[in-house]
Amino acid sequence: MSSGAAARELNDLRLLGAFGTNKVMAGELSRLVRRAFDDVRLPEPRKADVGALVYPFDPRVARLAAVYHRTSARVLWDVIETRAPRLSPLFDDVVSLALPRIARWLWPDAKISVYALNVKSFAAGERQIVGTVKNALIEAASRKGFEVTVDGEKPDVVFSVRGDDDLVRVSIDLAGRPMNQRGYRRDAGLAPLREDLAAVLLMLARYDARQDVLIDPMAGSGTIAIEAACMAKALPVFVPPRRPLVMDMPEFRDLAPAGGEGLFADTNPVILASDVDPGLASVVREGAEAAGVAASIRVETSDFRDLSVRQVRTLSGADMLERGLIISNPPYGERMRPDELHELYADLGRFCANFPGFRAAFLVANPDFEAAFGGRPRIKKPLSNGPLRGHFYLYEL
């Protein structure tokens, strides 16, 4: 028997991202919607958490987010919410609430997969919850007269089950995978920056490819540079053959925005990615090639301390260096002595001082950075890189 008032239908678009990135995610989605559609007015989102935004569900906006939204970690279509305390009422709730709408989500012979996160407060294990929701969806489809099967390897539709205090929310994961799994990065390097977080840094730094020359003087595997080029052209998040599952779901199949896959295809960014490690140049080039932005990124092997303004102008191909963005995710100190790291940060400050009129932005999880770099940041925002608690710094040079 259903838990009744403790369960309800949902029809929301939910964007999940890194802690404290709500405004960034909202800003990027607003930009994409304005570019893609003339007749869609995006409402103000509901802030569900410090890393979540909820909008009324619009199929066109949902598809757009799953295909193009680079600052989110997951793009979900919330469909069911229940406060069922045990497996039996959870099954009943999912069946009863799925029945009226399951033909909108699934189709005959569709293959499904289910994953669960943050369900420790529920009175059953994660695998039991996953199995219960799978069985309920199969039962609901059967009552509607068609069959679906389970396929964890190549599903057509992925369902997400998430706990939130005493409730359980069932959603459709519109990408079918984490949004940071873009598919262009062949080698993450020693200290990889997650792709969606690199996109967050670029948004926080107000990167404008129409006006800014972008320089990453410690580019590593090139994630920031590649994300900058992709964002400049508003390219799809996933690199073929990867594609978000939403593109093949009947509900969304014919909802692509006009104008092709690159929403800003006519933008020509100027980006320089440099790193002292000669082994990383090929990694950056391979990633840029896979992402389709190799023509936008100049790759250099050099210690940034050896780069003059004249060399940067030549390498970047920019006639003038009056406005731009220096942005990087410098070392935090795991493999360097404190005195070496302090010197590196100080040298980075001196390097940036050669570019008046530019902005400089960094994600650093080391409390000594600010004093060593020098100057006062215009923005200092808590922002973590995985388990490392750090700060985003933005300087006006």
Q: pLDDT tens across 108-166, in order? A: 999 999 999 988 888 888 999 999 999 999 999 999 999 999 999 999 999 999 988 88
- Both 252 and 218 in one domain: the answer is yes
Q: pLDDT tens across 168-217, in order? A: 999 999 999 999 999 998 765 555 799 999 999 999 999 999 999 999 99
Examine residue 52 and state whether it is found in any structural domain, yes or no: yes
pTM for this prediction: 0.93
Question: Looking at per-residue confidence, does 280 or 265 come out higher?
Answer: 280
- Both 375 and 273 in one domain: the answer is yes
Return the closest-CA partner of residue 224 out of 201, 257, 241, 249. Answer: 201
- Both 43 and 134 in one domain: the answer is yes
Q: How many domains does the chain have?
A: 2
Examine residue 306 and state whether it is found in any structural domain, yes or no: yes
Q: pLDDT tens across 55-107, in order? A: 999 999 999 999 999 999 999 999 999 999 899 999 999 999 999 999 999 99
What range defines the domain where residue 279 resides?
A: 195-396
How confident is the model at residue 318, as a pLDDT? 78
Which pLDDT band holds residue 262 (cuts at 50, 70, 90)?
confident
Q: In this structure, what CATH number is given to the domain that contains residue 239?
A: 3.40.50.150
Examine residue 179 and state whether it is found in any structural domain, yes or no: no
- Both 167 and 206 in one domain: the answer is no
- Is the confidence at residue 271, as pLDDT, over 70? yes
Examine residue 188 and state whether it is found in any structural domain, yes or no: no
Q: In this structure, what CATH number is given to the domain that contains residue 62?
A: 3.30.2130.30
- Both 133 and 201 in one domain: the answer is no
- Both 131 and 244 in one domain: the answer is no
The separation between the first and the last C-alpha atoms of the chain, rounded to the nearest angstrom, is: 65
How confident is the model at residue 188, as a pLDDT? 54
Question: Looking at per-residue confidence, does 344 or 47 come out higher?
Answer: 344
